[in-house]
Amino acid sequence: MRLVKYIVILGIAGGLLSATPTIDGTINPTGEGWQVASYNPDASGQAGADLDTLYYYMSSDSLYLAIKTQNSVSWDVAYGFGIDVNQEQDNGYVGDASTGTWDAWGRHLIFPNASPDYYAPDYEVYFWWEDQDGAITSVNLCTWTGSGWEYNSTDVMYAKSGDVNTGLIALEFRIPWSILGSPDRILVSTWIAGGGGSSAVDALP
């Protein structure tokens, strides 16, 4: 299992940015206003599961997130994002190794839920990268209900770059604030895991 850390993103009202990203699978920080949330240029040792940078952007109506990888081969992997919108103790998914309670896609992830921020995702967004197709073949926006998960595939607009030779190179997506309840601030993390029952092999921050 893996304990997943997080990055704080500014409150919506104070963090709106001027440009608007185009969801096309090409991350352009200079021209589209992407902000760096976290980065780790050091190689993970996993040629098909190596995160480089997590980006974010906030418009008046949507949250934008993006990742850049350092992948050099294509593997079957899951790209996950955890979004906490309320930062309340025991309000959100935490995970419990002792009871076999795992996340929305059955990955062995534990979230800190500790003072001062009490990070526990209220939402997870998952993308499955299929090795042989060189493509994303499954997407879920998963909402924690307090006792389980609800799954939605219709509210995530995304685009990617990469192929069967390189694996995923970049991924951008957008979620309307109306889906997330228009929070004052959010906490975000991202990770790469394998199939069901696996843990994260790389994560940001």
- For domain 2-204, the question of CATH label 1.10.357 is answered with no
Q: What is the pLDDT of residue 1?
A: 45
Give the pTM: 0.92
Q: Is the dihedral of CA 92, 94, 99, 101 positive or negative?
A: positive
Beta bridge partners of 175: 63
The whole-angstrom separation of Cα 71 and Cα 82 is 21
| Measured distance CA(61)–CA(40) in Å, rounded | 29
What does each of the 205 residues of the chain score in pLDDT, given as a tens digit? 455 566 665 444 445 555 789 999 999 998 899 999 999 988 878 999 999 999 999 988 999 999 999 999 999 999 999 999 998 888 999 988 777 668 999 999 988 888 888 999 999 999 999 999 999 999 999 999 998 999 987 789 999 999 999 999 999 999 999 999 988 889 999 999 999 888 899 999 8
With contact defined as beta carbons under 8 Å apart, do 22 and 199 qualify? Answer: no
> Residue ranges of the domains in the chain?
2-204
Q: Where are the alpha helices (DSSP H) in the chain?
A: 12-15, 29-32, 177-180
Rounded Cα gap, residues 183 and 17, in angstroms: 17
